[in-house]
């Protein structure tokens, strides 16, 4: 009798397990678009997006739990249950208040014992709401700087780039002084100081000019667009080995990532229509490079700069090739804004952003003295209370 009851119990367990497995197999779901790239977004501007979850199984899919990996993102609504063949809407709302690259996951757990995990992502770049660098009263255009330079003795051109770059190429008449050393230069306080950088570091130079003024410098400005703008305005370039024009205009992915976080009036021109690699830079505009008629191409660049109200253009291609040839074809053209080139092209930027995401996912942060680790395998997609995603400061 005991053996008979034991067999009955085991049979019931097996039937239950099989039923559970059948139910789990029959209630499966597909994600329509699991990642939404919102591109470039000013901080404080609320982002709304609806993700679609389709039930392709034969039984209803019960959603048990929904969570996000950052306190800046909430799920405003979602269905408790999705019937067979039906779809449900997962509505995410992001209210982000820190500049930089953002990658937030929305985790939907469903099925028996939360066995099914469906992950959606919101990615993009948040930028500061501020005046563009060229609109600042502390900035000077290259044309204005060239006119001021004619006032011999009253103007000091200060190249704040690393010494090795200065030795290779610099504006005629400039001197290389690092910011920390410049603050102690009493001989420059009565002069008009014009800081010259790479062109992608205008926001940093803006803060340096404010610092100099607070220390008693009579006039402090920075050259909008940096050495590249000086060159394109007809300023003389000196150095031990002045590079080709395209070399002066190269910006690597890290430099551009830092520059565009603060705005800067950039417009991106994609020569290869490789915008699949550019969503986290800016919405890139495709332009065919007319090699046989550079005048038409330069005119198109000017039109794009005007229509997008850009202060500078970033030209890129898939692999970042042909920049020297492109630059040579445009020599003598009257471009309205400085043109720069993305070193390594869009693929290099995509790789850089991938590395940024990996670094963010593994970064250790401190919250009220406790150690919290941002890794999906450890957090299981739950919000680490008070920690947020690590990129937004929430």
Query: Mean pLDDT across the stretch 340-354?
Result: 81
Going by pLDDT thresholds of 50, 70 and 90, the confidence category of residue 374 is very low
204 or 90, which is more confident: 90
Model confidence at 337: pLDDT above 70: yes
pLDDT in tens, 300-333: 888 887 877 777 888 888 777 778 778 877 777 7
Model confidence at 94: pLDDT above 80: yes
244 or 362, which is more confident: 244
Query: Mean pLDDT across the stretch 369-394?
Result: 37
Given this model, what pLDDT does residue 11 score?
54
The domain spans of the chain are 20-127, 131-243, 244-362
Identical fold, 20-127 and 244-362: no
18 or 46, which is more confident: 46
Task: Give the 3-state secondary structure of the chain.
Answer: CHHHHHHHHHHHHHHHHHHHHHHHHHCCEEECCCEEEEEEEECCCCEEEEEEEEECCCCCEEEEEEEECCCCEEEEECCCEECCCCEEEEEEEECCCCCEEEEEEEEEEECHHHCEEEEEEEEEEEECCCCCHHHCCCEECHHHHHHHHCCCCCEEEEECCCHHHHHHCEECCCEECCHHHHCCCHHHCCCEEEEECCCCCHHHHHHHHHHHHHCCCCEEEEECCHHHHHHHCCCCEECCCCCCHHHHCEECHHHHHHHHHCCCCEEEEECCCCHHHCCCCCCCEECCCCCCCHHHHHHHHHHHHHHCCCCEEEEECCCCCCHHHHHHHHCCCCCCCCEEEECCHHHHHHHHHHHHHHHHHHCEEEECCEEEECCHHHHCCCCCCCCCCCCCCC
> Is domain 131-243 annotated with CATH 3.40.250.10?
yes
CATH number of the structural domain 20-127:
2.60.40.10
105 or 274, which is more confident: 105
In the chain, the percentage of residues whose pLDDT exceeds 90 is: 15
19 or 144, which is more confident: 144
Class level of CATH domain 244-362: alpha beta
In the chain, the percentage of residues whose pLDDT exceeds 70 is: 71
4 or 358, which is more confident: 358
**Of 85-89, 149-153, 349-353, which range is least confident?**
149-153
**Of 85-89, 125-129, 267-271, 303-307, which range is least confident?**
125-129
pLDDT in tens, 148-195: 877 767 899 999 888 988 998 899 999 999 888 998 899 999 999 999
């Amino acid at each position: 009798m005991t053996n008979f009851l034991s067999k009955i119990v085991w049979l019931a367990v097996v039937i239950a397990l099989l039923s559970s497995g059948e139910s789990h197999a029959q209630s499966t779901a597909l994600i329509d678009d699991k990642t939404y790239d919102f591109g470039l977004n000013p901080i404080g501007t609320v982002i709304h997006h609806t993700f679609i979850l389709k039930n392709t199984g034969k039984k209803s899919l019960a959603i048990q739990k929904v969570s996000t990996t950052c306190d800046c993102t909430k799920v405003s609504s979602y269905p408790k249950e999705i019937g067979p063949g039906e779809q449900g809407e997962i509505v995410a709302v992001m209210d982000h208040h820190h500049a930089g690259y953002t990658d937030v996951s929305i985790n939907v757990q469903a099925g028996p014992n939360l066995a099914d995990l469906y992950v959606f992502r919101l990615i993009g770049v948040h930028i500061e709401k501020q005046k563009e660098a060229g609109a600042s009263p502390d900035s000077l255009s290259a044309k204005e700087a060239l006119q001021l330079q004619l006032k011999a003795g009253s103007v000091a051109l200060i190249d704040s780039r690393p010494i090795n770059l200065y030795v290779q190429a610099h504006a005629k008449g400039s001197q290389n002084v690092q910011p920390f050393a410049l603050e102690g230069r009493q001989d420059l306080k009565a002069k008009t100081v014009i800081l010259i950088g790479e062109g992608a570091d205008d926001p940093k130079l803006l803060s340096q000019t404010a610092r100099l003024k607070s220390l008693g410098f009579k006039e402090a400005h920075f050259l909008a667009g940096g050495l590249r703008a000086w060159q394109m305005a007809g300023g003389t370039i000196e150095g031990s080995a002045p590079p080709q024009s395209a070399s002066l205009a190269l910006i690597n992915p890290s430099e551009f990532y830092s520059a565009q976080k603060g705005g800067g009036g950039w417009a991106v021109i994609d020569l290869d229509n490789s915008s699949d690699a550019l969503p986290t830079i800016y919405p890139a505009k495709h332009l065919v490079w007319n090699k046989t008629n550079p005048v038409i191409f330069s005119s198109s660049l000017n039109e794009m700069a005007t229509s997008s109200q850009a202060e500078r253009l970033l030209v890129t291609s898939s692999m970042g090739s042909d920049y020297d040839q492109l630059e040579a074809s445009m020599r003598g053209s009257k471009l309205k804004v400085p043109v720069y080139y993305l070193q390594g092209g869009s693929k290099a930027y995509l790789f850089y952003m991938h590395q940024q995401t990996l670094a963010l996912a593994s970064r250790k942060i401190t919250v009220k003295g406790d150690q919290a680790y941002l890794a999906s395998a450890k957090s299981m997609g739950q919000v680490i209370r008070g920690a947020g995603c690590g990129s937004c400061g929430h």
